[in-house]
Amino acid sequence: LAEKTLRGQRVLITAGPTWEAIDPARGLSNRASGRQGFALAQAYAEAGAEVLLITGPTHEQTPAGVSRQDVLSAQDMLAACQQGLDKATDIFIANAAVADHRPSQFSAQKLSKTDIPNPLPLSMNPDIVSALHQDPRRPRWIVAFAAETRDHLAAASAKARRKGADVIVVNDITSVDVGMGAADNACSVLQGERVLHIPRCSKIDLARHLLRHLSSIFSLPG
Ligand code: C5P
């Protein structure tokens, strides 16, 4: 049994894709499975933390001891996260693959083929990491994720600064058998100039490894 080294720590995790509806039948999304975020929720719960998992549509099972809230859109995910901050949050882990855009109009009636505007007008979604960073109730630590295909360390470190994340976990998504939608994952963890590479392993092993590394960065036990 894992030792409950993180008892008393409150952790907020986002996971999965978001769903940006066009009408009741159609929408924009991406191929995130939610698996890595759920594995992180499991690892933190096993370590005794109080975990709130806010997730977009996924087939994953809720890990034991985790409070789960299901959402669809990025706007709903942001609202749920902001509500989550009502309880002081120690660690925010933004693992969700949030859609950058949503259709500007939602039609409550299903549109006919010819009624779908082409091109489809899009609006930018709010950035959840930036919003929580700027919130007066900012979590003590913010961990973002980045899936990159080129110059991935430099791109990710710029992203962390832009969004206000303390740490960014970078996935190189050019390989098909790791990362998004795959069973295994590998990543680099960046905190300022400090870089740790976690080689390919299962998503639960990676979650446990990441937890230990983050705990050492944040000077927490575990
Ligand atoms: O900019 P990009 O989507 O690559 O950044 C990825 C990181 O930002 C992830 O941690 C993701 O959860 C977060 N994000 C967010 N809100 C958005 C877009 C991304 O919190 N609208």
Cβ neighbors of 57 (< 8 A, separation 6 or more) are 16, 17, 19, 29, 70, 72
Rounded to two decimals, the pTM is 0.95
64 burial via Cβ count (<10 Å: 0-12, 13-18, 19+): exposed
Distance between CA 194 and CA 217 in Å, rounded? 10
Q: How far from the centroid of its chain's Cα atoms is residue 183's Cα?
A: 17
- Residue 17 contacts residue 50 (beta carbons within 8 Å): no
**What is the torsional sign of CA 102, 172, 9, 7?**
positive
Centroid of ligand 1 to alpha carbon of 152 (angstroms)? 15
pLDDT value of residue 68: 98
Any atom of ligand 1 within 6 Å of the Cβ of 98? yes
Distance between CA 219 and CA 166 in Å, rounded? 14
- Residue 50 contacts residue 9 (beta carbons within 8 Å): yes
Tens digits of residue pLDDT in 39-97: 999 999 999 999 999 999 999 999 999 999 999 999 999 999 999 999 999 999 999 99
Nearest to 141 by CA among 44, 76, 82, 214: 214
Centroid of ligand 1 to alpha carbon of 24 (angstroms)? 25
pLDDT value of residue 2: 59
pLDDT value of residue 65: 98
Q: Could you list the mean pLDDT of each consecutive 10-residue stretch along the chain, which spans 222 residues?
A: 85 98 97 95 98 98 98 98 97 98 98 96 98 98 92 93 97 72 86 93 95 95 78
Structural domains of the chain, with CATH: 10-217 (3.40.50.10300)
What's the Cα-to-Cα distance from 207 to each of 77, 123, 125, 169, rounded to whole Å?
A: 22, 33, 28, 11
pLDDT value of residue 185: 86
Tell me the best of 98, 122, 145, 214 to mutate to test the pocket of ligand 1, counting ligand atoms within 8 Å of each CB and taking the most: 98
The verdict on whether residue 100 carries a ligand-binding annotation is yes
pLDDT value of residue 29: 98
Any atom of ligand 1 within 6 Å of the Cβ of 74? yes
Any atom of ligand 1 within 6 Å of the Cβ of 44? no
**What is the torsional sign of CA 139, 95, 39, 102?**
positive
Considering only CA atoms, give the Rg of the chain.
17
pLDDT value of residue 177: 72
